[in-house]
Structure 1
């Protein structure tokens, strides 16, 4: 994937199954292949819970849908040997794009049976990915819950200096958030892709706003969902609004269907 040659790149994020059977995920993704989007973006052990290998699912998605798949790779799960092996393995399978990330922190209650690795940092992973010939992206997290924008921009600049070629934002929910991101990333010299996570219910919105680092759901939108006769439809409507914003301000959009609800994609893409 080369965002410098694509006018507007749309990807759909996929969470691998929590077991060895990918049939239900692939069955849900196959009908999407006819929609107008570039490809899939496959998460790796999100929220630090075990899931099927993202690289294995990338390969299966390519086989079953004919669409490209972007591999998420984290320093949390591998040492340098493992990271290098994953990058070379991805290239061998025809995967040409990687999203390099630190990875979510392991919850305190889970640390009695697992630990993080991180003997390479995300900047080193970006460099390794570039040397392996991968088109390399990174995550941009504004940390709105801690007013951490200045630090986040400095972090992103270091990733660009390490070789990052594009960035994907954490979910954005309003024009103010979109404008803030375009302002602070304008001079970085890389394409920025807006993250879009459709809301399902008022409870979903409140959970994301209060419990999930990197996500802020505006009060006005939370109120809209509380007052809506059909909160799911309201969440999809907001996602369509944000998708339109992405088209006017960003190089692309990464849509993250919640809880495997891929059936909402045609409406978001306005097909």
Structure 2
């Protein structure tokens, strides 16, 4: 009897977690590599699950693809690892049991971590190595990103007639990450050619059963479920699961009642959990009819859509000239000078001040706190920087929710300097997401959805700026990144400081096709040392030889050096104002009087430029 025939006739018991057991033995590296270095350990785990009552075991190949193996330098061992995994599993089985080749999903909460093209290429390579070893079926498991499953499932169906089990995973019970109801998702998998459709990972029996209550029996496919043992806990530097096997035994008949034909375990499960399922379900007949209660659409009364009290900066700079100024949060607890600077900049007529998020990876006063006080006490719009460096995705979501609650809607999303460049070089850089994904995440908030697809109950009204570094050898490559950020949802761009009129013209010509407005970054130099430091040690800043030579000639005259720095910046403002509506002034060393002076000058120049353009249009007419 083949696997599919058995599934049509009986309730079939799958195995449980492989990684959980290996981790409990002290292994914390590449589990798939153990197929080569410790085959006996893998074989013994397979045998333990078979003794517990499993009818189907899966190969130890969940992450045995080139995309995941490359983190261990094993991308050239995909062939050996997958073939070895099948051979080990086949040593364990009897004539009454089956081996399915497992291929895991690559995208989780970061749907853009790999392109679909990369995933399909990696998938096809792994698939063919598994098929070459004469497996009994395929198990595609832990696919959070439905686009990924939709790409690989049809490919697998085209390549083999073996039974295909396609299992997706939910962050939130009942819905996929893209907000697709689980019933709709499983029916879609059936239409794409899966023989068995189901769910695995993330959820324990309680929430998985709750989700399956919404699932109707497919017309041709069969249902599967592989719940987690429980939520993991972290004690003394190790993860572990506390769900006991008896809890699984009590839930077994409920899985049967929901129409599940293939029942196994995922994270945290052991042979004891599988034995608990087997003890209740071996010899029972599967359910062939199921009544799914159609839930009436509940009209939810959502809170009033928050309204911005000010227009987004991208709208302002599209219509008129605009000046924003970066004023760094202090490194020390005294904020007197910071708020003096914010007041002076308001009086100079700037549209907003931007507040960096621990720039150069050095701790400063929380920019959110200063932003709220600036908005409330001074009446000046704050533009809050958010880096990917300091917060994991949990912290980022919480931070965005806090900004929304405070009414701080202007954000600059950036990657952030790595921790090792700052005051604490031993600190961790998180980088759960890239700046691209952070932009996308913020825009999803504007749809009222969290990264997991959970309803936030209210839509955000964030406008998102992105960084643009034109100080590179090949500006076309920088523009490609800019285009990608625009695709991910950036509303406008802010550049690194520019120090030559030639570079301004180059930027203008290279970005004329971009519809999003650009603020040109300008920072006054204060001395020759300042110029040399910025040019040689600060990433993303390059200063022309002529300016560095000029500043060097004044190195013994600090007053004249500062005046020359202002003069250079004014000259750049003159040039930039002819090409761009947005000027972004960066305050050096909290010397806000310099940027206040330059902001006033910029507004004067912008008025002159506007009058000149109006006069030119009048003459043409």
Q: Same fold (TM over 0.5)?
A: yes
Give the alignment partner of residue 65 of structure 1, picking from 369, 378, 383: 378
Give the alignment partner of residue 536 of structure 2, picking from 188, 210, 219: 210
Deviation at 1:214, TM superposition (A): 1.1
Superposed counterparts of 1:18-167, under 5 Å? 18-107=331-420, 113-132=426-445, 133-144=461-472, 147-167=473-493
Residue 194 in structure 1 maps to residue 520 in structure 2: yes
CA distance in 2, matches of 1:112, 1:86: 24
The 3 A distance-change label for structure 1 pair 223 and 188 is: same
Query: What secondary structure, in the 3-state scheme, does the structure 1 residue paired with 2:313 have?
Result: coil
Pairs aligned (count): 269
Structure 2 unaligned residues grouped into runs of 5+: 1-311, 446-460, 605-621
CA distance in 2, matches of 1:109, 1:199: 22
Structure 1 unaligned residues grouped into runs of 5+: none
CA distance in 1, matches of 2:540, 2:569: 18
CA distance in 2, matches of 1:5, 1:13: 18
Aligned to 2:597: 267
Report Cα offsets for 1:147-195 as digits up to 9, x if no partner.
1423221111110000001010100111111011111111121101000
CA distance in 2, matches of 1:141, 1:223: 24
The 3 A distance-change label for structure 1 pair 17 and 161 is: same
Residue 252 in structure 1 maps to residue 582 in structure 2: yes
Report Cα offsets for 1:212-248 as digits up to 9, x if no partner.
1211111111122223450100001111111222221
CA distance in 2, matches of 1:84, 1:246: 36
Whether the 8 Å contact between 1:30 and 1:64 is mirrored in structure 2 is: no
CA distance in 1, matches of 2:330, 2:363: 9
Residue 2 in structure 1 maps to residue 320 in structure 2: no
Deviation at 1:9, TM superposition (A): 1.6
Whether the 8 Å contact between 1:3 and 1:251 is mirrored in structure 2 is: no
Aligned to 2:545: 219
Whether the 8 Å contact between 2:388 and 2:430 is mirrored in structure 1 is: yes
CA distance in 1, matches of 2:471, 2:428: 24
CA distance in 2, matches of 1:184, 1:109: 33
Q: Which has the higher contact order (CA 8 A, sep 6+)?
A: 1
Whether the 8 Å contact between 1:90 and 1:96 is mirrored in structure 2 is: yes
Whether the 8 Å contact between 2:348 and 2:597 is mirrored in structure 1 is: no
**Larger Rg belongs to:** 2
Give the alignment partner of residue 182 of structure 1, picking from 508, 532, 540: 508
Deviation at 1:143, TM superposition (A): 4.0
Give the alignment partner of residue 236 of structure 1, picking from 554, 558, 566: 566
Aligned to 2:15: none
CA distance in 2, matches of 1:50, 1:109: 8
Deviation at 1:263, TM superposition (A): 1.0
Whether the 8 Å contact between 1:126 and 1:136 is mirrored in structure 2 is: yes
CA distance in 1, matches of 2:443, 2:363: 27
Instruction: Answer with 1-10 or 69-78: which moved more.
Output: 1-10
The 3 A distance-change label for structure 1 pair 58 and 189 is: same
Query: What secondary structure, in the 3-state scheme, does the structure 2 residue paired with 1:235 have?
Result: helix
Whether the 8 Å contact between 1:48 and 1:103 is mirrored in structure 2 is: yes
Moved over 6 A (4+): none
CA distance in 2, matches of 1:128, 1:92: 17
Whether the 8 Å contact between 1:98 and 1:129 is mirrored in structure 2 is: no
Query: What secondary structure, in the 3-state scheme, does the structure 2 residue paired with 1:214 have?
Result: coil
| TM-score calculated relative to the size of structure 2 | 0.42
CA distance in 1, matches of 2:330, 2:323: 22
Whether the 8 Å contact between 2:413 and 2:435 is mirrored in structure 1 is: yes
Aligned to 2:235: none
The 3 A distance-change label for structure 1 pair 213 and 72 is: same
Deviation at 1:111, TM superposition (A): 6.1
CA distance in 2, matches of 1:218, 1:75: 31
The 3 A distance-change label for structure 1 pair 52 and 109 is: closer
Query: What secondary structure, in the 3-state scheme, does the structure 2 residue paired with 1:259 have?
Result: coil
Query: What secondary structure, in the 3-state scheme, does the structure 1 residue paired with 2:520 have?
Result: strand
Deviation at 1:109, TM superposition (A): 7.9
